[in-house]
């Protein structure tokens, strides 16, 4: 068994070392890679997604040498979809595909079960995964270069490739190193973890190689397991490491909430929230006057509204400055910090933008029978941590 496991992992490593070179490969020199204008453009698009990139030179090299890099993203189907999972993912995926990337979205149903989401009920988890796909479709995700893959189906169909890889990763890492990765599940090292939750990081690390990913495009909260994958490359002497492109994590709407919570409806805007629900949540959101840092309303504008609309409009009476359209976050932040832009006006503009953005999703879930039924089921489920 040991020989077979080692042989499988070595074979996978060799397969992943192969890089498809595009016919328009940019020349390189001893001074470094010289990028063509086209590659430079693709790099700027892809790099704009990440709050952090490990490593930028590797990303430039990849885009210069490979016409259609594989980008991996994934999610646990675990309840209603908040706006970061919805709109931010659509923005990021569409950027990746516009830059020529093939995006593999890993519907991690087995992982949700391991992490006890939806009470570990795979039937419910499946419903949630299908609901997520309906939202992305309605929100405008470009699916031409996107492949949705259910982890249970893919792992079962290629078990001889997957499990030897998981076992090899587990063998090459000590338990404390794996425990440092449990943040990826929304857990901490001090939590009372099940054996399944110890297995989870080894499996997620294996996913990256199993899916032959060139780029890991996940949130900052997934960084530790992505770094584990790069460390594993050192262990198996693999030169081409997966590039980590970690996007920003939106905070919750209430004061002191570092992230959104599906168990707290006021902490986030959900993708099928009605207009009145959006308005109430934004009205109650933390938005201290003249404070930019740690202001969730400004974060929504920076990371959702501006990338989506390329502008942000505030509507006011003439006596309070009149209507104004901003093109950059810097201009918004400057006027907000000075007091020229009032929290009430900013919130009103944010409500208008969010409702305009979400209306196609609402319409889809009201007019499409399948989507309507999925949402009805989702709302009846109890969210488990």
CA separation for the pair 21, 28 (Å, rounded): 13
Q: What per-residue confidence (pLDDT) applies to 192? A: 76
Q: Which two tokens stand for residue 102?
A: 């093939």
Identify the band that residue 78 occupies on the pLDDT scale cut at 50, 70 and 90. Answer: confident
pLDDT greater than 50 at residue 204: yes
Least trusted range by pLDDT, from 230-239, 254-263, 272-281: 254-263
**pLDDT-derived band at 100, boundaries 50, 70, 90:** very high
Cα–Cα distance between 333 and 313 in angstroms, integer? 14
Please state, in angstroms and rounded to a whole number, the distance separating the CA atoms of residues 373 and 236: 47
Element (H, E) at 216: strand 215-219
Q: For position 77, what pLDDT does the model report?
A: 92
Q: What is the pLDDT of residue 24?
A: 37
- What's the pLDDT score for residue 79? 85
As a whole number, the mean pLDDT across the chain is 88
Within 8 A by CB and 6+ apart from 67, the residues are 20, 22, 23, 24, 100
- Residue of 117 and 7 predicted with greater confidence: 117
Across the chain, how many H-helices and E-strands are there?
18, 10
Q: Which of 65, 66, 46 is nearest to 56 (CA)?
A: 46
What is the rounded distance in angstroms from the CA atom of residue 318 to the CA atom of residue 301?
23
Output the pLDDT for position 209: 97
* More confident position, 212 or 79: 212
Q: Using the predicted structure, report yes or no on whether residue 102 has a pLDDT greater than 60.
A: yes
Pair type for strands 312-314 and 324-326: antiparallel
**248 CB-contact burial (10 Å; exposed 0-12 / middle 13-18 / buried 19+):** middle
* Whether the Cβ atoms of residue 156 and residue 194 lie closer than 8 Å to each other: no
115 with 201: CB under 8 angstroms? no
List the structure tokens of 263: 């168990």
For 145, 252, 285, 365, the CA distances from 358, given in Å and listed in that order, are: 23, 18, 18, 11
Higher pLDDT, residue 142 or 384: 142
Q: What is residue 11's predicted lDDT score, i.e. its pLDDT?
A: 47
Full strand arrangement of the beta sheet holding 243-247: 52-54, 243-247, 215-219, 70-75, 102-107, 146-150
- Span of 103-112, 182-191, 328-337 with lowest mean pLDDT: 182-191
Picking from 16-20, 258-262, 340-344, which range would have the lowest pLDDT averaged per residue?
16-20
Pairing of strands 102-107, 70-75: parallel
Listed in sequence order, the residues at least 6 apart from 152 whose beta carbon sits closer than 8 Å to its beta carbon are: 109, 110, 122
The predicted pLDDT at position 29 comes to 36
More confident residue, 19 or 304: 304
pLDDT confidence bin for 8, thresholds 50/70/90: very low
pTM value?
0.85
Contacts 24+ apart (CB under 8 A), 382-385: 382/119, 383/78, 383/79, 383/80, 383/118, 383/262, 383/263, 384/116, 384/117, 384/118, 384/119, 385/116, 385/186, 385/263
């Amino acid at each position: 068994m040991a020989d077979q496991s080692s042989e499988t992992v070595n074979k996978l490593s060799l397969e992943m070392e192969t890089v498809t070179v595009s016919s328009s490969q940019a020349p390189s020199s001893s001074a470094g890679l010289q990028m063509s204008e086209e590659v430079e453009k693709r790099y700027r698009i892809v790099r704009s997604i990440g709050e952090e990139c490990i490593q930028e030179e590797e990303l430039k090299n990849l885009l210069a040498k490979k016409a259609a890099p594989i980008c991996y993203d994934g999610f646990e189907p675990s309840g209603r979809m908040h706006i970061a999972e919805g709109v931010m993912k659509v923005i990021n995926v569409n950027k990746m595909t516009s830059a020529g990337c093939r995006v593999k979205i890993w519907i991690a149903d087995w992982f949700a079960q391991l992490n006890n989401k939806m009470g570990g009920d795979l039937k419910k988890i499946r419903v949630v995964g299908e609901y997520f796909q309906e939202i992305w479709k309605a929100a405008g995700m470009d699916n031409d270069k996107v492949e949705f893959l259910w982890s249970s189906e893919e792992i079962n169909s290629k078990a001889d490739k997957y499990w030897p890889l998981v076992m090899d990763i587990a063998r090459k890492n000590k338990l404390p190193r794996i425990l440092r990765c449990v943040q990826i599940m929304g857990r901490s090292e001090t939590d009372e973890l099940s054996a399944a939750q110890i297995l989870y990081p080894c499996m997620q690390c294996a996913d990256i190689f199993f899916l032959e990913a060139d780029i890991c495009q996940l949130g900052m909260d997934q960084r530790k397991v992505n770094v584990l994958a790069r460390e594993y490359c050192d262990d198996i002497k693999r030169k081409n490491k997966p590039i980590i492109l970690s996007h920003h994590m939106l905070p919750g709407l209430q004061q002191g909430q570092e992230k959104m919570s599906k168990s707290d409806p006021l902490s986030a805007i959900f993708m099928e929230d009605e207009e009145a629900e959006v308005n109430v949540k934004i009205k109650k959101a933390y938005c201290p006057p003249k404070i930019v840092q740690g202001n969730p309303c400004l974060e929504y504008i920076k990371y959702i509204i501006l990338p989506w609309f390329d502008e942000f409009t505030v509507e006011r009476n003439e006596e309070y400055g009149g209507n104004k359209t901003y093109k950059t976050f810097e201009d918004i932040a400057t006027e907000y910090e000075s007091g020229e832009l009032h929290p009430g006006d900013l919130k009103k503009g944010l409500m208008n933008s969010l409702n305009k953005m979400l209306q196609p999703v609402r319409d889809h879930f009201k007019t499409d029978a399948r989507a309507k039924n999925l949402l009805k089921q989702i709302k009846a489920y109890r969210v488990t941590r």
